[in-house]
Amino acid sequence: MNEIYVDLAVIGGGPAGLASAISAKESGVEKVVVIDRNSWLGGILPQCIHDGFGVEEVGKSLTGPEYAEMYIKKAEEKGIKFMKETMVLSFNKKLQILAVNKKGLYTINSKSIVLATGCREKTRWHALIPGTRPSGIYTAGVAQSFINLYNIMPGKKVVILGSGDVGLIMARRFTLEGAEVAGVVEILPYASGLPRNVVQCLEDYEIPLFLNHTITLIEGKERIEAVTISKVDENMNVIEGSEKRIECDTLLLSLGLIPENEIAKTARIEIDDLTGGAVVNQDFETSIPNTFAVGNCLQVYDTVDVLSIDAKTAGKYAGEKLVYGGKEKFNCIKVVPGNGIRYVVPQKIDRTGKVIISLRVRKPGENLTLVIKAKNKEIFNKKMPWVNPANMVRMEFNVSEEIFSYESIEVELK
């Protein structure tokens, strides 16, 4: 067993981990280490070779690898240490991390931890589809890594189930590589990916989007041969007689992403069932003091830009807390999602001043108002010309001392 002592350990070297490590270092923390199980840094970004990254943050449209490179360079310049090809197995409330790599097992004793373990894709488990279980069924991200990182082509005639962003992007990618994309099948009445991706990845290539449809049968004894798609009614029940058979040799699943928190669970961090990520305060501190959660393991962000901005905030706060000690705190109040809201982050607030609240609405709508209430009293509102579950809503809210006389505040959509 190897023993290492650090000030701040970041688990996960994707954009969130790198951004928070850099900010922590800039706040004056001495020994910062980023641990990642991959042989590369940048997390999922090296396989996202399309552009569109960084527009909001740096005003330029970069590819995933370029965006990652920007952070990797900066992290190297700042003297951050990296442990690559190192898998974190667990950690505990004393902030000791157990990790393993080809040189052996490590205990990494840290004073502060940032969790930046990213997300994983929903699998076939999340959409029970009747039929056979042949080869040729991939999650969109796995297909993306095969094509973009390993130069391997999964198939030539593709149907995509789910209209998440990764699936939309892969519809275009497969088309560009000469495959035929027979359609994207979405059970909801609207696409779950970003509107700009629907235009740039489907409409520009005339790929059909079947809304209110789902796949009701998979055929093929060995390799997939066809799927049957069916229309659903407003309660998502299959409408008999609406079946349509589409031949294909590949089915991609783009059913959405889930925060990856198996490591967080080893330390019994409190998890929010609604986000799938840790319960955090406005500064991204979790239920374990001096342990923070950032990036897609906290909540699934729309774009990497906003994710990095939040991760920097968290890194800065984690750093300052280590260097200067914590700020004055109030007793924690809860932030709960009310009518029309699927989730809110942070789930608790324990200081005054400016905080940013991120949330997702339940369904699309126009001309609505977001309201924050404390015991039925409205304390904040924001007009929303339109809302869409695919677009995360962010609002700045100034926390005054008086709200700490309540137990909780509620966010709702009117």
363-369: long-range contacts, CB 8 A cutoff, minimum separation 24: 363/389, 364/190, 364/388, 364/389, 365/340, 365/413, 368/340, 368/413, 368/414, 369/413, 369/414
Q: Is 276 helix (H, G, I), strand (E, B) or coil?
A: coil
Residue 156 is a binding residue for other proteins (CB under 8 A): yes
For ligand FAD, what does the binding mask look like between residues 287 and 326, x meaning CB under 6 A?
--------xxx-----xx--x-------------------
> Is residue 56 at the binding interface for other proteins, with CB under 8 A as the rule?
no
Half-sphere exposure of 172 (CA within 13 A, CB side): 19
Q: What is the largest CA-CA distance in the chain?
A: 67
**Residue 175 contact, options ligand FAD, other proteins, none, Cβ 5-8 Å cut-off depending on partner type:** none
Q: Is the peptide bond before 289 cis (omega within 30 degrees of 0)?
A: no
Cα(163)–Cα(146) distance, integer angstroms: 20
Return the bridge partners of 351, or none: none
Q: Does 340 engage in binding with ligand FAD (CB under 6 A)? A: no
Partner whose footprint covers residue 149, from other proteins, ligand FAD, none (CB < 5 to 8 Å by kind): other proteins
Site for other proteins in 121-150 (CB under 8 A): 121, 123-126, 128, 130-136, 139, 141-142, 145-147, 149-150
70 near ligand FAD (CB under 6 A):
no
DSSP 223: B
Binding mask 74-113 for other proteins (x = CB under 8 A): -----------x-x-x--------x-xxxxxx--------
Q: Cβ(294)–Cβ(114) under 8 Å?
A: yes
- The binder of ligand FAD chosen from 6, 16, 113, 129 (CB under 6 A): 16
Interface with other proteins, residue 152, by CB under 8 A: yes
| Matching residue, tokens 């003091």 | 289
Tokens of 183: 């359609």
CB of 106 to ligand FAD, least distance (A): 12
Half-sphere exposure of 89 (CA within 13 A, CB side): 9
Pick the binder of ligand FAD from 255, 263, 288, 345 (CB under 6 A): 263
Phi, psi for 283 (deg, rounded to 5): -105, 15
**252 contacts 167 by C-beta, under 8 angstroms:** yes
Among other proteins, ligand FAD, none, partner that 104 touches (CB below 5 to 8 angstroms by kind): other proteins
Q: Which residues bind other proteins (CB under 8 A)?
A: 1, 37, 85, 87, 89, 98, 100-105, 120-121, 123-126, 128, 130-136, 139, 141-142, 145-147, 149-156, 177, 216-217, 221-223, 238, 249, 262
Q: Which residues bind ligand FAD (CB under 6 A)?
A: 11-17, 35-38, 43-45, 48, 53, 87-88, 116-119, 121, 141, 144, 166, 169, 257, 260, 263, 295-297, 303-304, 307
